[in-house]
Amino acid sequence: MLFPKSGSIDVADRATKPIFLTDPKLRGDLRNKHLAWRSDHANGADPFAEPHTLLSHYTSIDVAYEILENGVMHASNARFSNDDEEIKIGYDVLRVPTSDPGSTRNYILCFCDDDDLLSMWRGYADGGVSLTMDLSAPQWITILGLSNVSKLVLPVEAVYVSKTDAKKDPHAYWSWGLKASALRRLTRFQPRLKELATEQVARNFAINPADVATHYPNEAAQAEEDLRRTLIPYMKDIGFKEEREARLVFQLDREEEGSVIWYRTGDDKLRRPKIYVRYGRPDEDSDDCRYVALPEEWAAHGSWMAELAKKVPDTVSCLYYHSTGRQEVFVGPGQDQENVVSEIRNLRSYPGHPDQYRVFPDGRWPVRSITVGPRPDQDQTVELLKHFVSTKWWLEDVQVEPSKIPYRRR
């Protein structure tokens, strides 16, 4: 979440009094925080990323419980996915040498923009569930074991290309009127690779960008290739397009990978490389909760908002409005987060409160709903999961529903 910049509202001087940010400019800054992130990280792993809203992770029941209770997910090495052309097709499209060892260090978390898709149930979660998450803003993800280092990432749609198309002239390839929105983003990004590389080298050597080609041509060429390489893990064979995939990608160097890698044995008895990742930063719970984000429509509920301000602890120095359009409240991480969440939920019984709303704690995987896939005991599974989430304060407002697909598992 983004706090007001110093000079607009001095949070520190009024730390014991909640501040309602009604200034349109401040709300706009919060609403567009991902744009600032994209600018600041123009040379990062996914500079072409654009925000999504709700994305679903398909998985088994036992892995789902691990994610929900412990907050740990397993990111897989992209080179060893179920797509034989994974990574290779990206090399063909982007003309990166296949000898590049970087291909072994792309780790991915996969999501789908549909929470109830038959092909996904069959392929990835037979008898399992889909966890739908709100991934509409840049996410801090901690890689466990890497001295608990956090990386700022945003999900990006997979780009589906055919083997034949991948071998076409790259300049013509990027000029085609392809439908995938992710590819349109890449189309805008591809011509800027040289420009971005030049800017990066100019910053590194503190010179004018116009002088880079003369004084540092080799460094500029290497920087451009490095940027091109960052696009590779987002490409998949067109045969997988019905999966409608978006990915979180973690790109590690050789030393980083060696300190965090572990191997999981599959049904085929082969061990595949994984890394453990956890949502948020490792030190987020050490301080008091600093912010609460409210639906901007609530600004019209004066008396109820006054009551809410009384209930929120004095340590919460920033209350602001968000514009997701959903009746949801987001509470910042901190050692008193559970108490703040509880106080706001208790206000549901207060007369004159807004329409039914849900309260979610930031700093955990932002699960908003769970869909139980087709299975013989589906109704009982739904009830068991409803009971489970009702006993965990951070999951209490997560909805659990059965799949609407009448598929009979055999």
Q: Each residue of 258-272: pLDDT tens digit? A: 888 888 887 788 888
**Which has the higher per-residue pLDDT, 210 or 5?**
210
Mean pLDDT of the 136-155 span? 76
Specify the pLDDT at position 95: 66
Higher pLDDT, 349 or 14: 349
Mean per-residue pLDDT of the chain: 75
- Assign 303 to helix, strand or coil: helix
The set of residues, in sequence order, having a beta carbon less than 8 Å from that of 62 and lying 6+ positions away, is: none
Q: To the nearest whole percent, how much of the chain has pLDDT over 90?
A: 25
What would the pLDDT profile of 314-332 be if each residue is shown by its tens digit? 777 777 777 777 889 999 8
pLDDT of 103: 47
Single pTM value for the model: 0.77
Contact 11, 3 (CB under 8 A): yes
The whole-angstrom separation of Cα 217 and Cα 60 is 50
Model confidence at 94, in pLDDT bands (50, 70, 90)?
low
- Half-sphere exposure of residue 254: CA atoms within 13 angstroms, side-chain side: 3
Residue 137 scores a pLDDT above 60: yes
Under 8 Å CB-to-CB from 278, ≥6 apart: which residues?
71, 72, 73, 141, 142, 144
